Amino acid sequence: MKPILLTSLLLTVALAVGLAARPRSQSISYGGGDPLSDDCSEHMRVSGHHYDSVVRGEESRSLPNQPLSFSADHNGGIHISSWDKADFSVKLCKEVASDSDEQGRKLLADIKLVVNGSSVSVNSPERHGDYTIGTLLLIKAPRDAQVSMSVLNGGISVRHFDGTVEAKAVNGGISLKESRGKLTVRADNGGISIQDCGGDVTAHVQNGGLSINLPERWDGKGLDAHTQNGGLVIGIPRNFSSGLEITTSNHTPIVCKGDACENGQRTWDDEHRIFRVGSGDPQIRASTVNGGVVIKNSERSREMM
C-alpha cells in the first residue's frame, strides 16, 4: 500500500496567539485548564519571555440574558461555556509584554471591554512600538443563550455550552467540545474540532482540517460538516448507534481503522466515494473536497481501495 498524505489536516485546533508582529516575540496561548473556571491564568499562558516586563489585568461585566454578539480583539480569542445563573458574565483577560512596567501599565489601561447595546467587543491601542498584546474574552452564558462570535487571526473555544451559537473565525480555529444546541460554525484558513457534541450542528471549513470525535449516540437533529481543501478525521466509538455518512471526491485517499471498516457500507462511483455506518437516514454527514480521510476507532489500519 502507498502511504496516505492528508492535505491541510488539523488534528488539534490552535486557539488565538494574540501578538503584535514585532522584532521580538512572545507566545501567548489560549485554552486548556478548567473550562468552567473564570481564572484568566487558566486560559491564557505565556511562554518565551523576551521582554523585561509583563503586566496583566482583567475587566468584568455582568450582562442580562439577551442575544449578544461578541467580537474579539485583532489576534485575540474567545472562550465560552454555560452556567446555571440567569445573566452573562463577561471577563476580558489582557496582558502586555514590553520593556517597562510603566509602558505596560499604560497600554493595559487602554485595553477596554466595550459594550454597545447587544454588541460586546475589545478596544485596544494600535500596535506602534516594540511590545505585544494578548486578549481573551472569557464568557459564561445562561443555558439556552443565543450568541454570535467572530475572531480575526484568533480562535474560538466552545466548551460545555448549551444554547445557540453562530461563530466565525478567519485565519484561526474553532473548537466545540461537550456542547449541544444549535451550533453553526465556520473557519476560513483554519481548522474546526468537534468532540462529544449534540443537537443541530453545522460546520464549514475553507482551507483547513476538520476533526470529529463522535459520541456513542447523537442526541439531537444531527451534524452536517464539510471541509474544502482540508483533511477529515472521524473517531467512531465501538458502541456507535447513530447513522453516519462520509462523502468524498473519487480521488480522495481514505484510511480506515477498526470495527467501522468491517461494518461500513461503501459506494464508489466515477464522482464520489461514500462510506456509511448504521442504517436509515444518517444523522451525521461529513464531507471533504481536496483532502484525505481517516476513520478510526482501533489500532488496526488499512487503506480502502
* Pair 94, 126 in one domain: yes
Mean per-residue pLDDT over the chain, rounded: 85
Q: Report the number of secondary-structure helices (H) and strands (E) in the chain.
A: 3, 26
Last residue of a domain, one of 122, 153, 184: 153
* Pair 179, 59 in one domain: no
- Residue 207 falls inside a structural domain: yes
- Residue 196 falls inside a structural domain: yes
Q: Record the pTM.
A: 0.86
* Pair 244, 271 in one domain: yes
Last residue of a domain, one of 91, 122, 153: 153
Q: What is the pLDDT of residues 213-238, one digit of tens each?
A: 999 999 999 999 999 999 999 999 88
Domain that holds residue 236: 1-16+172-305
- Residue 115 falls inside a structural domain: yes
- Residue 62 falls inside a structural domain: yes
- Residue 164 falls inside a structural domain: no
Between strands 77-83 and 156-159, the pairing is: parallel
Last residue of a domain, one of 153, 182, 217: 153
Q: What is the pLDDT of residues 32-59, one digit of tens each?
A: 667 777 888 888 765 546 788 889 999 9
Q: Which three cell numbers stand for residue 27?
A: 507566545
Q: Cα 290 from chain centroid?
A: 21
Hey, how many other C-beta atoms are within 10 angstroms of the C-beta on 220?
15
Residue 183's contacts (CB-CB under 8 Å, 6 or more residues apart) are 158, 161, 164, 165, 167, 176, 197, 199, 200, 201, 202, 203
Q: What is the pLDDT of residues 274-305, one digit of tens each?
A: 989 887 789 999 999 999 999 987 443 344 43
Domain count, the chain: 2
- pLDDT value at position 46? 59
* Pair 303, 177 in one domain: yes
- Residue 160 falls inside a structural domain: no
* Pair 135, 221 in one domain: no
The beta strand positions in 143-191, using DSSP E, are 145-152, 156-159, 162-170, 174-177, 180-188
For the ranges 33-37, 71-75, 176-180, the maximum mean pLDDT occurs at 176-180
Hey, how many other C-beta atoms are within 10 angstroms of the C-beta on 177?
18
The C-alpha atoms of residue 98 and residue 93 are separated, in whole angstroms, by: 17
* Pair 118, 234 in one domain: no
* Pair 93, 209 in one domain: no
Q: Average pLDDT, stretch 12-18?
A: 35
Percent of the chain with pLDDT over 90: 60
* Pair 130, 208 in one domain: no
* Pair 102, 92 in one domain: yes
**Has residue 115 got a pLDDT over 70?**
yes
Which candidate, 305, 236, 227, places its Cα nearest to that of 276?
Answer: 236
* Pair 59, 128 in one domain: yes
- Residue 162 falls inside a structural domain: no
Compute φ and ψ for 105, nearest 5 degrees: -65, -35
- Write out the H or E segment, with its range, that includes residue 22: none
* Pair 198, 240 in one domain: yes
* Pair 141, 180 in one domain: no
- pLDDT value at position 299? 42
- Residue 269 falls inside a structural domain: yes
